[in-house]
Amino acid sequence: MEIVFGRVDDSIARFTLSGASEASANALRRAMIGEVPTLAIEDVRIYDNTSVLFDEMLAHRIGMIPIKTDLSRFVRKDACKCEGVGCPLCRVIFTLTVEGPGTVTSGDLVSEDPETAPVDTNIPLVKLWEDQKLVIEAVAYLNTGSEHAKWQATIACGYKQYPVIEITDQCDGCGMCVEECPRAILEVKGQTVRVVDGRLEVCSLCKLCEKACIGTGIGDESAIHIKADKTTYLFTVESDGSLPAQQIVEEGIRYIRKRSDELIESLQEISMEGQ
Ligand code: SF4
Ligand code: SF4
Ligand SMILES: [Zn+2]
């Protein structure tokens, strides 16, 4: 298997996975969605809430705020040496005290750790009127999306099969497929049609071009054929800001490798026992 990054920055990673089966591509997708750890608020103590929202609704909204996470500094609570009591290695405490009138936002959460804060300070939590008040303590822990969506580091994570476009000698360059293509993939060049430079990966495999070609009366078989390469996949991974997009990819791969190693070890133990 090989990964080649096309675009990568903190918010989005686009890459090609080649030499892989569909099952492997899907395993990577699922690992990036469900098995990459990130911080999210889990425990909320509400000391005062005279806003229009119930405590439970507020706690839910606070839990969904993405939090900037440095994975090198935190461990999961169940794996921490504090044995689940809570310490700076496995938790971050936030406090919030706001009096109305005004809108309470994620930026009102004050973190005990200056490097661990909400990704966006403008996420609205609740609107307070005159004399309404909110006093909250919230504790964030590390966990994964398979436990709850609030620990999911990706807001979009998916792939498509790599498009393969073939044009036969039957093509007369009439241009009907070019007009039909919704993504401007094709162009007429001389007496034939071809893929516009750099546009192949944008093809959605919709096959409207094939239908347009048949519609020209060319016969039973289109002069353009759209296929999918079953061993190459185009991935798009968008981060919610808690982790850089490339780190989400790396952590997803690390998880698959770890689970594969564990499986191999278990199989070796079973085969040793059977001898
Ligand atoms: S399959 Fe769809 S997107 Fe791709 S070239 Fe044909 S019409 Fe365009
Ligand atoms: S519609 Fe068919 S014949 Fe016309 S340009 Fe496209 S592939 Fe060629
Ligand atoms: Zn701890």
Residues having CB within 6 Å of any atom of ligand 1: 180-181, 183, 185-186, 203-209, 226
Which atom from ligand 2 is nearest to the alpha carbon of 170? 3
222 C-alpha to ligand 2 centroid (Å): 8
Which atom from ligand 1 is nearest to the alpha carbon of 202? 3
Is 3.90.1150.10 the CATH number for 2-34+155-237?
Answer: no
pLDDT of residue 247: 97
Q: What's the Cα-to-Cα distance from 110 to each of 36, 105, 134, 139, rounded to whole Å?
A: 25, 11, 13, 11
CATH architecture of 38-151: Beta Complex (2.170)
Q: How far apart are the first and last CA of the chain?
A: 34
Q: What are the residue ranges of CATH 2.170.120.12 in the chain?
A: 38-151
**How many degrees, rounded to 5, is the angle at CA 88 between CA 256 and CA 60?**
70
Distance CA 266, CA 275 (A): 15
225 C-alpha to ligand 1 centroid (Å): 10
Task: Please report, in tens digits, the pLDDT of each residue of the chain (275 residues total).
Answer: 899 999 899 999 999 999 999 999 999 999 999 999 999 999 999 999 999 999 999 999 999 999 999 999 999 999 999 998 999 999 999 999 999 999 999 999 999 998 999 999 999 999 999 999 999 999 999 999 999 999 999 999 999 999 999 999 999 999 999 999 999 999 999 999 999 999 999 999 999 999 999 999 988 899 999 999 999 999 999 999 999 999 999 999 999 999 999 999 999 999 888 77
pLDDT of residue 1: 85
Judged by its nearest atom, the ligand closest to the C-alpha of residue 83 is 3
Distance CA 5, CA 157 (A): 15
Who contacts 183 (Cβ-Cβ below 8 Å, separation ≥6)? 199, 202, 203, 204
* Residues 127, 131, 134, 135, Cα dihedral to 10°: 160
Distance CA 208, CA 179 (A): 10
For 11-46, the DSSP string reads: SEEEEEEES--HHHHHHHHHHHHHSS-EEEEEEEEE
